[in-house]
A and B are shown apart, each in its own frame.
Chain A
Amino acid sequence: MSNCRTYHDRIAELANATTDSISDLALQQHLAQCPSCRAELARLRRAETVLRAWPLAPLPHDLVAPVMARIARYPTEPGWQWLPWTVWVPALAITITIGTVLAANLVGLKLPESAPAALTLPPATMPIMASLRQPLGAAGRDLFWAIWFGLFFTLAGVGVSLGLMSRQSQLDDLTADLRERWEALRETARL
């Protein structure tokens, strides 16, 4: 029957209803002539009956004492934990991408070789400042960039991770939704 799908939702509703009577005339007529939808209704009704009688499993042990003990030791959990991979993998990828783009642009630039003339400093600091104003040697430049990139990657990584963490539930929704669609596709392929 090609139009069976149009009745699926109404059959599901009917299976969950507490009453057996069918007020929907079109559905009633379809069920009267369609054995596969009648079978579907019977199947869903049986599942509904079984589910409504689904007993709770008994607890192996009472949780009150252990929970209260944990609370008394509060705070017992580590203040930090590894971020889930759905956070740190994209965070790392984004950070590396931005870092590479920035690095490609920055390596062409030169460091300023002296402070602006307007900047006047107390005489005691002059010798230190004078040494700082000297152009950096090759090793100094490497160190400068190492520190700069270290700081950049750490801060960018933490920033992106925290941003993604706050979007974690949406990320989960998205992956759950994609999984759902995939399962639905597979289900249809099997039938």
Chain B
Amino acid sequence: MQRGTVVQDPLDVWVARARDGDHDAFGEIVRHTQTQVYNLAYQILRNPQEAEDLAQVAYVRAWRALPNFRGDSRFSTWLYRIVTNTCLNRRRQLGRSVELGDDHLALAADGQLQPESSVIERQTRRELWSAVGELPERYRTVLTLFYQAQLSYDDIAASLTLPLGTVKAQLSRARRALARLLERDEPHE
């Protein structure tokens, strides 16, 4: 991404108003980004209560930092950077003790599926949740940003303040590690 170029983001209208102190506009931003933000927070913290709390903390930080947002990256990239830093700091304070099993979220994700979803589909998603849960935090973070938040490599690098090459290498290792875990979990009849 070129520095200084204005990248169009569907949130731009609300961002401009929120920057001028419009609370309702910021509320709209929260409404439209909260599911992604919560999922990102969850993948870093692996604890639903902590993820919810830290997502809120991250939004408050974003609100306070909004006057400094210059628009030289997408707003969502900027927001995810705040979320990632907030959650990583929290995780450093708490260590792994905060992690819960992923059954809770896997079940919740099941609830999102259409009733006609096949048993295989449910099984596969459960395997994915549990395999992702076994990955190190940095792998989970890049996978979430790439596949769930659908950020580009450049945007992930900007969100995590990592070099592009490191992001690509991490994603590649994360996929490889996940592929092995999925193979292990595959039901063998």
Contact = CB atoms under 8 A, between A and B. Distances in A.
> Chain B interface mostly helix, strand, loop or mixed?
helix
What band does the interface of chain B fall in when counting residues whose beta carbon is under 8 Å from A? 35 or more
Interface in B25-67: 26-27, 30-31, 34-39, 42, 48, 52, 55-57, 59-60, 63-64
A72 B127 CA distance: 42
B182 A47 contact: yes
Contacts of A25: none
Contact of B179 (A9, A44, A55, A71): A44
B178 A47 contact: yes
Given A43-B182, A64-B30, A64-B34, A55 B42 contact: no
What band does the interface of chain A fall in when counting residues whose beta carbon is under 8 Å from B? 35 or more
Contacts of A183: 136
Contacts of B42: 57
B60 A76 contact: yes
B26 A54 contact: no
28 contacts: A43-B179, A46-B179, A46-B183, A47-B182, A50-B124, A51-B128, A52-B147, A55-B109, A55-B112, A55-B113, A57-B109, A59-B35, A60-B108, A61-B52, A62-B34, A63-B56, A64-B30, A67-B60, A68-B23, A68-B26, A68-B30, A70-B59, A71-B60, A84-B89, A176-B162, A177-B166, A179-B136, A187-B177
